Amino acid sequence: MRLDKFLHDSAGLSRKLAKKAVRDGRVRLDGEATHDPARHVAPSDTITLDGSVLPWPAPRYLMLNKPPDCICATRDPHQRTVIDLLPPAAGEHLLIAGRLDIDATGLLLLSDDGRWIHRVTSPRHAHEKVYLATLAEPLDHSAEARFTRGIFLEGENKRTLPATLARLSETEVRVTLTEGRYHQVKRMFGALGNRVATLHRERIGRIRLDPALEPGDYRELTAAEVAAFGS
């Protein structure tokens, strides 16, 4: 982490004031004055401002219920992003785990802990992702077997990994995947000659979307939820 970002997160200084404090010699790193706001610092460093030791800022872990018509990006000059749903201070430096299409809804996980985000999203960990989908047409009778066997998506020469498909009605299904290819759920049903009308994510790994969260709302993850992806 850059020193000026650390001062912003730990001491509440604006980036401008953080840089000035460093250049004015008010900041010491392990007892030595430093004048470089871009210097990299780590949790093992002791950093003081005007003689007071600053605590290392705790990482943030959030769950958000994504509404439609906003994109999974940290910033965009033309469209509303999921970060725009958060108060300005809460959204700073957050990364998004498990992106959703603009018209999809449901569970998103966000954090400024890059290692945790990697554990959530890395294909090596194969965390389950569960979606509720509404289809444009009644489901083909062979759909379950094809999902279990794996499907060749358009433009790809490797089957998808085995997935679980549960019928809830003629046009409503629950899909469980352990991978995250581009537009995967929509493309899998497209390969069956069908179309996804609505898509809602209910779960990532052992974390389920909190039913108390309205679309656009968010909350901090509990310690148990954070720990569900290991350390």
Q: List, in sequence order, every beta strand (DSSP E) within the chain.
A: 27-29, 32-33, 47-49, 52-53, 61-66, 95-97, 105-111, 129-135, 164-167, 172-177, 196-204, 207-208, 218-220
Catalytic site residue from 36, 84, 101, 113: 101
Distance CA 230, CA 158 (A): 30
Tokens found for residue 39: 């210097």
Q: How many CB atoms lie within 10 A of CB 178?
A: 15
Q: For residue 32, give the amino acid letter.
A: E
Q: For residue 22, give the amino acid letter.
A: V
24 belongs to the catalytic site: no
Active-site positions? 101
